[in-house]
Amino acid sequence: MEASSSGEGSQRDEEKGMFQYFGWVYHIGVNSVGREYCHLRFLLVRGKCVAMYKRDPHQNPGIKPIRQGVMGATLVVEELGRRKVNNGELYVIQFCSRLDESRKGEDFKVALNSYTPSNLK
């Protein structure tokens, strides 16, 4: 799949039957000191593999992901809806593990700039 100039896209690879999505999202949460953060990150989903980068890996091929994992039966994706973040409204989705009841270190939230049905398909 060619990387679009906007750095965003999704596609199903017909040969392998694999879904692929990549694009810029906001990684939001609360740090260990209790302060909220909102960082622009590049999310890449390829089949069952999920990776988050500080920069676009298509334009910077040698960079390593800051977070990565494999989707399995224990992954839960929750739609948290619209949230006010830094004087703006974002649509928030949370990824977490069903096995980790304490939810420490195993979940992360991403926010889309604006909600449209095409953002989530």
Q: Output the domain CATH number for residue 66.
A: 2.30.29.30
Query: Mind listing the pLDDT tens digit for each residue in 17-68?
Result: 778 888 998 888 888 898 888 889 999 988 888 889 999 999 999 999 998 8
Q: Identify the pLDDT of residue 33.
A: 92
Asked if the structure places residue 31 within a domain, the reply is yes
Return the DSSP state at 47: T
Report the number of distinct structural domains present in the chain: 1
Asked if the structure places residue 49 within a domain, the reply is yes
Asked if the structure places residue 92 within a domain, the reply is yes
Q: Is pLDDT larger for residue 10 or for residue 86?
A: 86
- Residue 35 is part of which domain span? 9-120
80 close to 103: Cβ distance less than 8 angstroms: no
Two tokens at 85?
């973040």
Q: Which residues contact 94 (CB under 8 A, 6 or more apart)?
A: 77, 78, 80, 107, 108, 109
pTM over 0.85: no
